[in-house]
Structure 1
Amino acid sequence: MADGTRIVDLEAVPEDGSYRLTAEDPFGNETELILVRCDGEPGVRAWSNTCPHESQSLDVGDGAAIRDGAIVCPRHGSHFDACSGECDDGPAAGTTLPGVDLAVADGAVHLADDRYAFLHEGGIDDDEPGSTSHLSL
């Protein structure tokens, strides 16, 4: 059994994309995180869903763009290594995505970072967990 709150089955994290979730820090601030596949152990990493260059969301609701093992910022095209979070090109070169500790056990991903509490899948402003629609009638 892994320490931490169960987030999702590992198989639900897309091979080419991301799984977006909302967590809360110790001060009650909600923040979006993304899970992405990685070749290194444990096979998945968690990062802040924000490019450090200009606070652009990497996953706006339909999964982050992943190319050749890198998360691509949709605004300026900077590439962040999916395993290390480091960026070596584009306007964000020299920065690193803030990481979040995870554990994988029994085929599930668990949030193992004392700085965050898992709230729900999907983004902060999603009407319903997992929803990507922001339309209202």
Structure 2
Amino acid sequence: MPEGTPIAAVDDVPDMGSSLFTVEDAFTNEREAILVPCEQEPGVEAWINSCTHEAQRFDQGDGAAMRDGQLICPKHGSFFDACSGECDNGKAAGTTLPGIDIAVEDGTVYLVDENYEFLRTGGIDDDSGPSSSSHLSF
């Protein structure tokens, strides 16, 4: 078993979406993080739940929008590769998502990143939804 804290079962990560969890950084700041499916081993990756262009959450409690193995920023539509975290389009082009080190063993995902401590499954209680740069209102 890896030295780390169990986060979730690999099977609990949706095929198209994310699994939200909360970590604490070295400065005791709570940060939201997501587990997303990845076609490369170990089959999942973990990222801080925020676009690099603006602090926009990918997963707001109901799973991140994904298409063709990419996370989609809900504000500007930038696409981030779910496996590498890299973005090559939109306002976040040329940036990479901050990753979180994980390990997978026997179908369980473990947090092994020395910079974070696992706090809980789910996000930080925050009801702020995505702001939009669109001129349309509903």
State the TM-score, normalizing by the size of structure 1.
Answer: 0.90
Aligned partner of 2:97 in structure 1 is 97
Query: 1:65 Cα shift?
Result: 0.5
Q: Is the 8 A contact 1:21 1:123 kept in 2?
A: yes
**Structure 2 residue aligned with 1:51:** 51
- 1:32 is aligned to 32
For 1:42, what is the secondary structure of its paired residue?
coil
Percent sequence identity over aligned pairs:
62
Answer whether contact 1:3 1:103 (CA < 8 A) is retained.
Answer: no
Mapped to 2, the partners of 1:39 and 1:3 lie a distance apart of 24
Matched residue, 1:107: 107
Q: Within 5 A, what are the aligned runs for 1:1-137? A: 1-125=1-125
Contact conserved, 1:18 with 1:64, CA < 8 A, in 2? yes
Cα distance in 2 for partners of 1:102, 1:82 equals 14
Q: Which runs of 5+ in 1 are unaligned?
A: 127-137
What CA RMSD, in Å, does the superposition of the two structures yield over aligned residues?
1.2
In structure 2, give the amino acid aligned to 1:91.
K
Query: Which runs of 5 or more residues in structure 2 are unaligned?
Result: 127-138
Measured after TM superposition, the shift of residue 79 of structure 1 is 0.1
Q: 1:58 deviation in Å?
A: 0.6
| C-alpha distance in structure 2 between counterparts of 1:25 and 1:94, whole Å | 25
**CA offset at residue 106 of structure 1?**
1.1
